[in-house]
Structure 1
Amino acid sequence: MRGDRKENSAHQPYPILGGMEPAEAKEELRRAIRSHRTERSPRLRDEAAVAFADVLDTVPAVRDAAVVATYVSRPTEPGTGVLLDRLAARGTRVLLPVLGAGLARDWAEYAGADDLLERAPGRPPEPSGPALGADAITQADVVVAPALAVDNRGVRLGQGGGWYDRSLKMARPGVPVVVLVFPEEVYDATERPLPLEEHDVPVHAFVTPTGWQPLPAPAPAPARAG
């Protein structure tokens, strides 16, 4: 994986300038990475979805979990459709986000691809089963979370809504959090650190279509004065 990071660094968006506040730097990165993701063809995305599932089959925390909390991918994200079906086929209970009004958090069980529908414009597809409550994440043995990028300290760049940062804080202590990213979205923190704020929750491993790697927990972000 280390060689992959160096090979992809030339194609890695990093529009961060000195003096930027973390929140501003995050937004610049999100715009750049989202734009870069649109360049990947549907065929390559489909191939990557299979590869992500293949790699996740080798991650012990995922392979051995009785309950996995994960997400339904949007078109340009690392695909989770293959993963969801494989987990369900082997009897794993799969929890998926249900986005309530505003920033409300909830979860429901995966009941097959045909059950996933876009319940509101702009939201990812959601299961139709009964909502289990925000604390359902405490039942998960591992969380496979979305990310736009990750660095080798364990810092995750999310989509900006804060939904997962709030949800991950409710997971049981010690439950591993694994993120799915494309190879060029793995950043070397010594050269291109991702912005870190106090509310950010560290992750424990990342998966790309070519492999996976555990990560150390990053130091907390410094508290802001005032």
Structure 2
Amino acid sequence: MANDVEHEKRALRAELRERRQLLSDAQREDAATALTRRLDELVDSLGARSISCFLSTTTEPGTREFVRAAVRRGIRVLLPVTRSDGLLDWVVATDDDDDIAEGLFGLPEPTGEVLGPIAVNDVDLMLIPAAAVDRSGMRMGWGRGYFDKTIGSMQKCPPVYAVIYDSEVLDFLPREVHDQPVTGVVTPTQTLLLSPPRR
């Protein structure tokens, strides 16, 4: 059974990855601009002063302008750094693009003073990557399990929103025991509350 679910997820991830690669530069830029506005609104509506986010790759919904602007507004932004043991370290973001290097999986990650995995326990809001999210709030990542492990281990989890494109909000996703739900999603056109935050 789990094998079937894993095969289903793998096929769906491949389809979603391909769909993202077909977007034009202009579509990506427009999406990033719209997303920055939505993310700003979410941060303001929650009164968040400390958040975690991620540095988007070229095919992901663009978060970099949002991160820079949040830092300039005085919001503390933690960015993830992957570790070989499956955990995430964190670095406080700056508004300088020179502070970015290639991480463990070739993904953009911040350089700077590394804080341990528990640093994220202090944030008011988590913004995380995803391949897709279904309408019950179930999130499917890219298969490495970093964010499932992080969210699952937090004693007091803040609201967690996945940042995705509109077409990646699906009716249903295959799920496994370790998969963690999210509070909602932020897309270029909408912010959806899907499940209540856990306390």
Would you say the 8 A contact 1:107–1:132 is kept in 2? yes
Change (3 A) 1:92 1:120: closer
Supply the distance in 2 between the matched residues of 1:29 and 1:78 (Cα, whole angstroms).
Answer: 18
Residue number among 204, 207, 213 corresponding to 2:192 in the alignment: 213
Supply the distance in 2 between the matched residues of 1:208 and 1:28 (Cα, whole angstroms).
Answer: 23
- The match for 1:158 is 141
Matched, 1:53 2:32: no
For 2:153, the aligned partner's letter is M
- The match for 1:109 is 92
For 1:128, the aligned partner's letter is T
For 1:205, the aligned partner's letter is G
For 1:197, the aligned partner's letter is E
Calculate percent identity across the aligned residue pairs: 34
* Gap runs ≥5 in structure 2: none
Supply the distance in 2 between the matched residues of 1:35 and 1:123 (Cα, whole angstroms).
Answer: 18
For 1:79, the aligned partner's letter is G
**Which one has the bigger strand percentage?**
2
Supply the distance in 2 between the matched residues of 1:105 and 1:134 (Cα, whole angstroms).
Answer: 5
- The match for 1:199 is 178
Would you say the 8 A contact 1:61–1:142 is kept in 2? no
| Secondary structure of the structure 1 residue equivalent to 2:110 | coil
- The match for 1:4 is none
Backbone CA RMSD of aligned residues: 2.1
| Secondary structure of the structure 2 residue equivalent to 1:49 | helix
Q: How far does residue 66 in structure 1 lie from its aligned partner after superposition?
A: 1.1
Q: TM-score, normalised by structure 2?
A: 0.90
* Gap runs ≥5 in structure 1: 1-18, 218-226
Supply the distance in 1 between the matched residues of 2:85 and 2:153 (Cα, whole angstroms).
Answer: 18
**Which one has a bigger Cα radius of gyration?**
1
Matched residues, number? 196
Change (3 A) 1:158 1:21: same
Supply the distance in 2 between the matched residues of 1:55 and 1:126 (Cα, whole angstroms).
Answer: 23
Supply the distance in 2 between the matched residues of 1:121 and 1:21 (Cα, whole angstroms).
Answer: 28
Q: How far does residue 107 in structure 1 lie from its aligned partner after superposition?
A: 0.6
